Amino acid sequence: MVEDIRFHRLPRRTFVGMGVAGAAALALPVSLRNARAQDVTEVRLTQSPSSPAEQNVMTSLLATFMAQHPDIQVNYEPVTQQYNTKLQTDLAAGTAADVFTFGSLPSPDFIQGGVLAPLNDRMAAAGITTDQFYPGLIAAFQQGEELYGLPKDFSTLGMIYDPAIFATPTDTSTVIGGTPSASPAASPAASPAASPVAGEGLAVPTTWDELRTVATQLRDQTGQAPIVFGPSFDRYIAFLYQGGGSVISEDGTSIVIDTPEALAALDFYHGLYVDGLATTFTEVGAQWPGDAFAKGLASIVFEGPWLIGFMAENAPNKPYGIAEMPAGPAGKATMAFTEAYGLNAASDVQDAAFTLIAWLTGVEGMTQWSTGFGVLPSRPEVAAVYLEQFPEREPFLVGGEYARPWQLGSGGERFNTEANAELQALFAGQQDSATTLANMQARAEEIIRLG
Amino acid sequence: MATALARTKRSRSPMESEDMIAGWVFLAPAFIIFATFIFGPIFYSLWISFYERNSFGTINNFVGIDNYRQILDSPDFWNAFRNTAWFSLGVVPTQTAIGLVLAVLANRKIRGKSFFRTAFYFPSISSSVVISLIFLWIYQRNGLVDILFNGLNIPVPNPVWMQNPNGIIQMTLEQFGADSVPPWLRGPSIALMSIMLLNIWTTAGTMMVIFLAGLQDIPGDVYEAASLDGASRVRQFRDITVPLLRPVILFVVTLGTIGTFQVFDQIFVMTSDGGPARTTTTLVYLIYQEGFKFGEGPGYASALATILFGIIFVLFLVQRHFLGQTENR
């Protein structure tokens, strides 16, 4: 799953016993295949599981695949640390797996690096079309008309709020835990942030203006900043799109970060901080915004589905609501953090490897994967089944319809670091928002290699 | 070491070829491993520094010294150089001084001497990743440092320690009304300072142990004679201990300089991508970013590594010039 976003400024976690689990996972398919059929093709699959739970679901998913395809033996090679670094060196050395996952951010680098086999012909032959997937996810793995990876799953950003404060829901918002919407005013005890405004019952904001209004109200009542976020580009960019800005022009030929729309978006985002409506997670002593929310230090954070597991583990009794991101002057926008299965261009077993990719991203594989692990399915077709099991995740899934891919062109990963640095300088008061955007524009022109 | 061994042997007696062969056979495993995993990569890295490459090796064009030219024009390189230089300038003298003082204290006949020696050395043998994680907690908002500062009524910095990109010289100058301080004059950021303190804390113990070994080499009668002449403890330290420890100081400073110019793991663990605002991006971290994070690629990163080697080499020559003249006296 695409948990990088959540962990990227957290201490890297090592899962003790992962090695044991990995060994068990590798041993499993072998034992399943005691009665070896003739001409079994071996396909190597590598991926970076975010947790032992994800690895277990992946293992059982592959077992189902192999039961249906006795002629294909999948060797699963999970990599829990430094996946991209290992993958790059494996590809350079010619020892990479036949099927590997790659994220939307470095996707253009993989595509332009020529290490991925194009999929259009194979998809046409197998009857797979791009409109079977959410458009924002397909866009992340396309160059021109050619597709280089099929989306495994995705996460979007949503607005997580304290339901004890925001009692009036929106059309799509959902609440987890507590006594949802029945008598919100009567149950303010769960959250310390709730007590000063008990019984107030604000409406969940759906636009920038409403967000500012309720945040101001809360700040004035409690004396604390209700929103917790950070000077990070992967959050600002959602506001950038909501405000009608962009990073790369529609035709993909120029960098367009420094625009009046972008400035308005940055002034809105940074303005929340300047006006005391928002604070950073580090300033409240949290590891990331979700951590601040779990500790009751925030009433609103902008995070993704990864927060759900975190809340279950760290604040199981705290109720929380999920809503779509607020709409800006240019309408709704959120980010799709996604990952695709790619076909190694140097693989000797491309036919079998593509059979595996097609099944994993097909209706059956996607259903088993998304309902088993809880990540959002990249196929709208699976949405109904998925929501039956995870109804509270609807706001995240709805975002898939208008989400923009988390992608910044070739060299985007490097540029993301520079963009974060500029935002950090802005938040520390070293420069103003206009300078920040001008610097971002200059750095992007230098770093991003346009197609 | 291999060559040094062979040379002394040759000068001592006429070469006995059988011994020679036996020597090489015994050396062979270590030498082959060394050549394969150390020498080989070093020369390969030098080789690809003249190429424009992508991460997968699918693009590979000879570009001569273009990478080097590009590096010298790059603000990222100069920023990383500046950060590394501040880091080294702050850490090396401090850890040397603390190490020396600790060594002298731990060398005296005091109760619990071995406890102190162990305690001071302990951070050096602990995993730097674990220590970095612990310091991350200590530097958090309302963490240990904040509690200490609040208790002493000293205002804590905002943004938080590890997120604060403001330079310490810059902040001082701004107190006196300076408006916009140029980057090279800002000094290490508070975030970098925090990592420097951690680094001093972990390495001072190592330096202490090296100094302790050096102190054993100073004959006791020198001190005896000095005290008979009425020299005070401080005077003895200044005029006997320090001069006689000169070769050891050179060793410690060289080791410290190399170590600080290669700092990576603490940056990797404690910061988000060399932030805030690039103020903790050191040269080695920049190499990692350019090489593995889809930056300019392995060729460019290798050229950076070669330049880093050059910088450390020059610094060593300078230090040897100023500190290493004891042998001639």
- Contact status, residue A229 vs residue A429, Cβ threshold 8 Å: no
Q: How far A407 CA lies from chain B's nearest CA (Å)?
A: 13
Residue predicted with more confidence, B161 or B182:
B161
Flag if A109 and B55 touch (Cβ within 8 Å).
yes
Q: What is the mean pLDDT of residues A37-53?
A: 89
What percent of chain A shows pLDDT beyond 70? 86
Name the percent of chain B in helix, strand, coil, to the closest 5. 70, 0, 25
Ramachandran region, residue B150 (left: φ > 0; alpha: ψ -120 to 50; beta: rest): alpha
Same CATH fold, A158-335+409-447 and A4-153+339-398? yes
User: pLDDT class for A158, splitting at 50, 70, 90?
Assistant: very high
- Contact status, residue B276 vs residue A283, Cβ threshold 8 Å: no
Residue from the list B54, B276, B292 with its beta carbon closest to the beta carbon of A428: B276
Two tokens, residue B113: 């001497």
- Contact status, residue A157 vs residue A238, Cβ threshold 8 Å: yes
Q: What is the mean pLDDT of residues A249-267?
A: 94
Is residue A84 within 8 angstroms of chain B, CB to CB?
yes
Nearest CA among B204, B149, B161 for reference residue A428: B161
Mutate to test the interface with B, among A424, A443, A445, A449 (most CBs of B within 10 A): A424
Q: Is the dihedral of CA B133, B134, B135, B138 positive or negative?
A: positive
3-class DSSP state for residue B116? Answer: helix
- Cα(A177)–Cα(A321) distance, rounded to whole angstroms? 9
User: pLDDT class for B329, splitting at 50, 70, 90?
Assistant: very low
3-class DSSP state for residue A397? Answer: helix
Is residue A10 within 8 angstroms of chain B, CB to CB?
no
Write out pLDDT tens, residues B38-72.
Answer: 999 999 999 999 999 988 888 889 999 999 999 99
DSSP class of A337: E
- Cα(A280)–Cα(A228) distance, rounded to whole angstroms? 5
Flag if A411 and B295 touch (Cβ within 8 Å).
yes
Token match 């992946």: residue? A58
Task: Return the minimum-mean-pLDDT range out of A58-67, A125-134, A265-274, B117-126.
Answer: B117-126
pLDDT at B260: 95
Each domain of chain A, given as residue ranges in start order, spans: 4-153+339-398, 158-335+409-447
Write out pLDDT tens, residues A81-120.
Answer: 899 999 999 999 999 999 999 999 999 999 999 999 999 9
Flag if B292 and A88 touch (Cβ within 8 Å).
yes
Write out chain A residues lying below 8 Å of B59, CB-based. Answer: 113
- Contact status, residue A356 vs residue A201, Cβ threshold 8 Å: no
Residue predicted with more confidence, B59 or A132:
A132
Each domain of chain B, given as residue ranges in start order, spans: 17-68, 75-328
Q: How far A112 CA lies from chain B's nearest CA (Å)?
A: 10
Burial of B169 (0-12, 13-18, 19+ CB in 10 A): middle
Distance of CA A425 to the CA centre of its chain: 25
Q: How far B54 CA lies from chain A's nearest CA (Å)?
A: 7
Q: What is the CATH number of domain A158-335+409-447?
A: 3.40.190.10
Domain B75-328 class in CATH: mainly alpha
- Contact status, residue B161 vs residue B194, Cβ threshold 8 Å: yes
Write out chain B residues lying below 8 Å of A425, CB-based. Answer: 165, 276-277
pLDDT at B7: 52
pLDDT at B325: 62
- Cα(A345)–Cα(A291) distance, rounded to whole angstroms? 41
For chain A positions 229-248, those within 8 Å of chain B (CB to CB) are 231
Write out chain B residues lying below 8 Å of A109, CB-based. Answer: 54-55, 294
Q: How far B278 CA lies from chain A's nearest CA (Å)?
A: 6
How high is the mean pLDDT of chain B?
89
**What b/e sequence results for A395-419 when a residue is b if at least 16 CB atoms lie within 10 Å of its CB, and e otherwise?**
bbbbbbebbbbbbbbbbbbbbbbbb
Flag if A417 and B274 touch (Cβ within 8 Å).
yes
Name the percent of chain A in helix, strand, coil, to the closest 5. 45, 20, 35
Residue from the list B58, B136, B142 with its beta carbon closest to the beta carbon of A114: B58
pLDDT at A20 over 50: no
How high is the mean pLDDT of chain A?
87
pLDDT at B51: 94
- Contact status, residue A425 vs residue A431, Cβ threshold 8 Å: yes
3-class DSSP state for residue B190? Answer: helix
pLDDT at A2: 44
Token match 């399943």: residue? A32
Token match 């990383």: residue? B80
DSSP class of B326: G
Most confident of A27-31, A193-197, A421-425: A421-425
Kindly provide the ipTM of the predicted complex, given to two decimals: 0.85
pLDDT at B94: 96
Mutate to test the interface with A, among B48, B52, B56, B278 (most CBs of A within 10 A): B56
How many residues belong to chain B? 329
Instruction: Please give the CATH topology (third level) of the domain spanning A4-153+339-398.
Output: D-Maltodextrin-Binding Protein; domain 2 (3.40.190)
| Strands A335-343 and A174-176, sheet pairing | unpaired
Is residue A422 within 8 angstroms of chain B, CB to CB?
yes
Q: At what angle do helices B190-216 and B75-106 cross, to 10 degrees?
A: 40
Smallest CA–CA distance from B161 into chain A, residue: A282
Sequence-distant contacts of A86-94: CB under 8 A, at least 24 apart:
A87/A46, A88/B55, A88/B56, A88/B292, A90/A46, A91/A115, A91/A344, A91/B55, A91/B56, A91/B57, A92/B55, A92/B56, A92/B57, A94/A346
What secondary structure, in 3-state letters, does A46-75 show?
EECCCCHHHHHHHHHHHHHHHHHCCCEEEE
pLDDT at A38: 62
User: pLDDT class for A179, splitting at 50, 70, 90?
Assistant: low
pLDDT at A192: 43
Write out chain A residues lying below 8 Å of B141, CB-based. Answer: 282-285
Mutate to test the interface with A, among B45, B55, B181, B186 (most CBs of A within 10 A): B55
